[in-house]
Amino acid sequence: MITAKLIDTVWATRKAESLNGLKFMLAEVIGGSNEGQRLIVVDIISAGIGDRVIITTGSSARRMLGDDSIPVDACVVGIIDEDCKFK
């Protein structure tokens, strides 16, 4: 999984019907040599801008949504505790 910080919300009025109601956020990788890489993620656990999150990508991201037919490849699966300081 990826450690990233949520930095903004992304709005797309025109999109696949199955994506209606999902919240899309812009995330930026933190730590390691991939720092600064960006991706768009779906959040269904009420994460907010500024949160450090754990992101699952690929086919495993669809498991987060409980519906294998949704064309999503990255989801927030956890919010890292604020007092969790990792290297």
* Cα–Cα distance for residue pair 14/75, rounded to 1 Å: 20
Task: Please give the residue ranges that form the binding site for its own copies (CB under 8 A).
Answer: 1-3, 7-16, 18-19, 24, 26, 28-29, 31-41, 45, 54, 56-64, 68-75, 77-81, 84, 86-87
Instruction: Quote the longest CA-to-CA distance of the chain.
Output: 41
Q: From the CB of 17, what's the least distance to its own copies, in Å?
A: 10
User: How far apart (Å, rounded) are the C-alpha atoms in residues 10 and 12?
Assistant: 7
Instruction: Give me the amino acid identity at 59.
Output: S
Q: How far is the CB of 57 from its own copies (least distance, A)?
A: 6
